[in-house]
Amino acid sequence: MRWIAIFTTLALVPALARPKNRKRAQAGAGVDMVEAQCGACHSLRFILMNSPFLGPAQWDAEVAKNDQAFGGADRTGDAKTIGDYLKENYGG
């Protein structure tokens, strides 16, 4: 009886861990920069989770905060493009 419980649990774990609806970043000017710069440190689902709470000023602050902490988009000159993409597609 114990082996049935173990087998069932092991069989269900991958299905439960898999996201039900895999969303990708919305298409738009700058999506490649967002996927490269933002996706280098965290999942792009982080953007989707925060989009209901962030307006244009908050997205600019998030981009600036991450640039100060990790120095990504500012060095490559992509910070404005990334901020514009986030504001256009995910809030405001």
Instruction: Name the packing angle between helices 79-90 and 56-70 (round to 10°).
Output: 140
27: domain range?
Answer: 21-90
Domain assignment present for 86: yes
Residue 8 lies in a domain: no
Q: How many domains does the chain have?
A: 1
Q: Is the pLDDT of residue 72 over 70?
A: no
pTM comes to 0.66
Q: What is the CATH number of the domain that holds 57?
A: 1.10.760
Q: What sign for the dihedral angle of Cα 58, 81, 85, 79?
A: negative
DSSP 8-state symbol, 29: T
Is residue 37 in a domain? yes
At residue 17, the 3 state secondary structure works out as helix
- Answer whether residue 2 is part of any domain: no
> Per-residue pLDDT tens for 81-92?
888 989 888 876
Residue 9 lies in a domain: no
Give the C-alpha separation, 24 to 47, whole Å: 10
Note the pLDDT of residue 21. Answer: 44
